[in-house]
Amino acid sequence: MGFLNYPVICLLLIAAFIFACVTSVKVKTTFRKYSKVLSSRNQPAYDIVRQVLDAEGMYDVSVGFVSGELTDHYDPRSNNIALSSAVYNSTSVGAYGVALHEAGHAMQYAKGYFPMKIRAAILPVANLGSQVWSLLFILGLIFSWGFLVDFGVILFAFIVLFQFITLPIEINASRRAITTLRNTGILTADELKGAKAVLTAAAMTYVASLAIGVLQLLRLLSIRSRQD
């Protein structure tokens, strides 16, 4: 089958890895650029997040601190938004974008956003797959056990499915962030451009990860087809 042409897939996979490296650098440089652009609001990002959550009646969501750069995340298990050292106390437009993105995830969870439910349902299988798919696949190739190769491919497919569902979740969280920043007047129109730039750059890293996952899956299917 043409779409399983191994050399072509490998070339595309190399291109996807390069794209991923570029997007990784891009998100860091974009964030650092707009972390130097201070907002006229002049409130720490953690305070802005708390203000937005309270306005939504989400008093049970806590806002905490986590070390590192761009390590910001929302944990639905503890219902906690963790903001990194470059974001937590910052008054920059870049920090506001990142912080409100995580608040967007908290809103998704609170309002039962359907894609998050799907992702949560397949998370255990995706976690299992990330741990054992390669071992099963390699053992299946070594001993010519097609069923084991197939099982490894299926588990990896769940990882790709997880990435596929994650992309619209991330885009939606960014849209919620931008809408909140605009509608509440937290950022001016000019300041909003910086927050958008940071969130767009971050979204491209998820696009790159998905592209790598899909191409890797095609590579595995190509290897499997050559066994028959």
Name the strand (E) or helix (H) holding 47. helix 45-55
Token pair, residue 39, equals 């907002």
Alpha-carbon distances of 101 from 41, 70, 175, 200, 211, rounded to whole Å: 18, 12, 8, 11, 23
Q: Which of 56, 69, 102, 170 is catalytic?
A: 102
Burial class (CB in 10 A: 0-12, 13-18, 19+), 165: buried
What's the distance, Cα to Cα, between the start and end of the chain in Å? 13
Alpha-carbon distances of 128 from 80, 120, 157, 209, rounded to whole Å: 25, 13, 12, 19
Length of the chain: 228
Kindly tell me the number of DSSP H helices and DSSP E strands found in the chain.
6, 3
102 given a catalytic annotation: yes
Q: Which residues are catalytic?
A: 102
